[in-house]
A and B are shown apart, each in its own frame.
Chain A
Amino acid sequence: MRDVRDAQMIARNSEGKLVRRPLSPHLQVYRWPVSMALSILHRVTGVGLGIGTLLLTWWLVAAASSDDVFDRAQWFMGSAFGLLLLFGWSVALIFHFFNGIRHLVWDAGIGFEAPAYDTSGWGVVIATGVCTPLLWVVGLAVW
């Protein structure tokens, strides 16, 4: 069956001729303000964290199994590749955390004006840049 929405894209112009409706300009014609980059990053990190839940699930399943299975999972997390995955997971989580709070504040009707959302955007970038290494320093000190 064809999609009726295709027919929505066809209309008559001022001369009565059938034409395809023009599409609005898309991503490639805009410069990248911080708000746009962070909006896309929020989605990318969200999907990344979704894939990261596989790591969490594996760790929990291993912890519910024998000592051997758990030790293998713990060894993998501590290996170079495991630490790289955990580092990527932590950056994505911390960014999504701060930017998510920014979204919640917007939903409360605060900070949605032109200079405010740029300032809060850079705030999220700085908070992520500061908190990620800080957590790793603390984490590696405990380990």
Chain B
Amino acid sequence: MSGTPHVDILRSALGRARGLGSARAGSHHWWAQRLTALALVPLTLWFVFAVIHLSGASHQAVIDWMSAPLTLALMLALIVATFYHLHLGVQVVIEDYVHDERLKIGGVLAVKALCVLLALICIVSVLKIGL
């Protein structure tokens, strides 16, 4: 990166630029992020009021609340949308600020794995409480 500027690869300026553009998957990422955001608007609103309603509740009260089919379905929708949206968002943050290729790909994959794992833990817990 430092020293006198010099070019030491035998490729034309055009050749160097080729292949560094879009991977043609950006629009799906963008769209999925907006759709999950849209879904999370009512789901988050519902969840915040549910948390307030449950503040200081007993274990049995939480079990009773989660046992209603509608509550359980909304919790599952909230979990899926939240972790999907989260992993898309953090991926962009990593891609913007981490410039080392190996660290970047490793970071994105680690975040993906962590989000899938946390989502599964939440789903299993919610099903265990509600069913």
Binding site for B on A (CB under 8 A): 3-8, 10-11, 18-20, 43, 46-47, 49-50, 53-54, 56-57, 60-61, 63-64, 67, 70-71, 74, 78, 90, 93, 97, 100-101, 103-104, 107, 135, 138-140, 142-143
A-B contact count (CB 8 A): 103
The smallest C-beta distance from B26 to any residue of chain A, in angstroms, reads 14
A–B Cβ pairs within 8 angstroms, 9 of them: A19-B5, A47-B93, A53-B83, A67-B59, A74-B59, A93-B48, A103-B37, A104-B34, A139-B51
- B45 cross-chain contacts in A, Cβ below 8 A: 97
- B86 cross-chain contacts in A, Cβ below 8 A: 46, 49-50, 53
Say whether, besides A8-B17, A70-B59, A101-B41, A18 and B6 are in contact (CB < 8 Å). yes
Contact with A along B105-125 (1 / 0, CB 8 A): 000000000000010011011
Kindly identify which residue among B20, B44, B66, B89 contacts A50, using a CB–CB cutoff of 8 Å. B89
